[in-house]
Amino acid sequence: MINDQETLNLLLSTVERFVRERLMPAEQIVAETDAIPEDIVAEMRDIGLFGLTIPEQYGGAGLTMEEEVLVTLALTYTSPAFRSIMGTNNGIGSQGIVIDGTEAQKAYWLPKMASGELIGSFALTEPGAGSDASSVATTAIRDGDVYVVNGTKRYITNAPEAGVFTLMARTDPAVKGAGGVSAFIVDARSPGIQVGKTDKKMGQRGAHTADVIFENVRVPAENLIGDREGQGFKTAMKVLDKGRITIAAVCVGAGQRMLDDALRYAQERKQFGQPIGEFQMVQAMLADCRAELLAARCMVMETARRRDRGENVQTDASCCKLFASEMVGRLADRCVQIHGGAGYISDYAVERFYRDVRLFRIFEGTSQIQQIVIARAMMKGEK
């Protein structure tokens, strides 16, 4: 789609209008009910938001990374929970199949995800395997033309809504590290799958995570991603490399919203006889937010463009995720500070965003994992 500026502009203006007219007015109700209204999800399907990154031949929009970043910036000017419901279909829930799946796997599963008929979910994390992702203990043991899966996955985004899981499980228990792990496509209706109760989180109400328990679940051998055992950890890492650029864009979108809210508040709120935005100490906070947002936006755009050109951006994807997620934490803190007492009251969106954005320094690889990825590459002499 990269050359079709007109179609891209139309998509961006549709998303901006949808965010302004439909999503922002529904933020509070989503926070109160911990659910995204069904009519909004249906509109997301109609606009095509579930298939943004899925190739066109499988029913998606086939956006480039740069285009995905632009749409993400527009879409995350509102509560992150709205992006979460379609975020896995565009990211970690579908990309394992897009990147490493066989033609038959792509042809069967991707159109269902692109239309939003199925929600895709990424099942890597376990009670004993978080940052140490290659230590997954869930097993998938070959038995004729099926694999029998046993284990527990934890904090799985969209598990309660999932129609299909990308599951990382150990096909060779004798191989302890990454090499023993394979990736599977698992129909969420398979007998033996149980989704635990929805986690109570610090923020991001409306976006759901839960445990997923697999008990003797029989997965057809043809659902082994790429038809090759032992490649699952690498598939997961490739998915996360891309996801980290997207999450960095999410941080910029949410940051822009908080800053716009804080600026408006600083212009309206009067103390000592004048708007607080006239005070230099408030101005310093506004300026620092703007400068840091610009830095993160530039990093994300540049890295996305380089990925589109086919360059290896593994390390820089981690730089983007590290900088943007830490940046949005600092920005959220300043924006609460600018709001003063109002920033601590849930009537103001900034109170909710402050809690929502805390997750970004943790999921899809903590800041400390990003530092490890970056420094390891440097020590290996990668440019």
Q: Closer to ligand COS by CB, 64 or 166: give it.
A: 166
- In the complex, what is the shortest distance from the CB of residue 30 to ligand COS, in angstroms, rounded to a whole number? 22
State which amino acid sits at residue 344: Y
The binder of ligand COS chosen from 19, 185, 300, 369 (CB under 6 A):
369
Out of 73, 114, 133, 159, point to the residue binding ligand COS (CB under 6 A): 133
Reply yes or no on whether 364 is catalytic.
yes
Query: What span, in angstroms and rounded, lies between the C-alpha atoms of 337 and 330?
Result: 11
Which of 30, 7, 61, 327 has its CA nearest to residue 204? 30
Cα–Cα distance measured from residue 308 to residue 194, given in angstroms and rounded to the nearest whole number = 39
Q: Residues near 241 by Cβ (< 8 Å), separated by ≥ 6?
A: 313, 314, 317
Find the binder of ligand COS among 237, 286, 295, 377 (CB under 6 A): 237
Q: Which of 55, 57, 50 is nearest to 36 (CA)?
A: 50
Check residue 36 for interaction with ligand COS (CB under 6 A). no
Q: Please state the closest distance from residue 272 (CB atom) to ligand COS, in A.
A: 47
Q: How far is CA 43 from CA 19, 235, 250, 316, in A?
A: 11, 31, 21, 34
Indicate the residue among 169 and 293 with the shorter CB distance to ligand COS: 169
Cβ atoms 51, 115 nearer than 8 A: yes
Q: Report CA torsion sign: 243, 249, 251, 254.
A: negative
Binder of ligand COS out of 14, 134, 150, 190 (CB under 6 A): 134
Q: In a 3-state reduction of DSSP, which class is residue 217?
A: strand
What's the Cα-to-Cα distance from 185 to each of 14, 20, 105, 156, rounded to whole Å? 32, 36, 8, 15
195: part of which helix (H) or strand (E)? strand 193-195
Is 241 a binding residue for ligand COS by CB under 6 A? The answer is yes
Q: Does 165 bind ligand COS (CB under 6 A)?
A: no
From 240, 276, 327, 336, residue interacting with ligand COS (rule: CB under 6 A): 240
Name the packing angle between helices 38-47 and 80-90 (round to 10°).
50
Q: Does 314 bind ligand COS (CB under 6 A)?
A: yes
229 near ligand COS, judged by CB under 6 A: no
Nearer to ligand COS, 60 or 365 (CB): 365
Stretch that binds ligand COS, among 17-25, 126-134, 195-203, 344-352 (CB under 6 A): 126-134
Catalytic pick among 6, 326, 364, 382: 364
Question: From the CB of residue 6, how many other CB atoms can be counted at a distance below 10 Å?
Answer: 7
Cα(164)–Cα(223) distance, integer angstroms: 11
CA distance 8 to 253: 18
Stretch that binds ligand COS, among 25-33, 65-73, 167-175, 235-243 (CB under 6 A): 235-243
Q: Select the residue interacting with ligand COS from 131, 198, 267, 368 (CB under 6 A).
A: 131
233 counts as binding ligand COS under rule CB under 6 A: yes
Q: Which stretch binds ligand COS (CB under 6 A): 45-53, 60-68, 232-240, 328-336?
A: 232-240
DSSP 3-state of 118: coil
Q: Least separation, in Å, of the C-beta of 179 and ligand COS?
A: 6
User: Which 83-112 residues touch ligand COS, going by CB under 6 A?
Assistant: 92
Using rule CB under 6 A, residue 360 touches ligand COS: no
Interaction between residue 26 and ligand COS (CB under 6 A): no
DSSP 137: -
Contacts with ligand COS, residue ranges (CB under 6 A): 92, 122, 124-125, 131, 133-134, 178-179, 233-234, 237-238, 240-241, 314, 363-365, 369, 372-373
Q: Which residues form the catalytic set?
A: 364
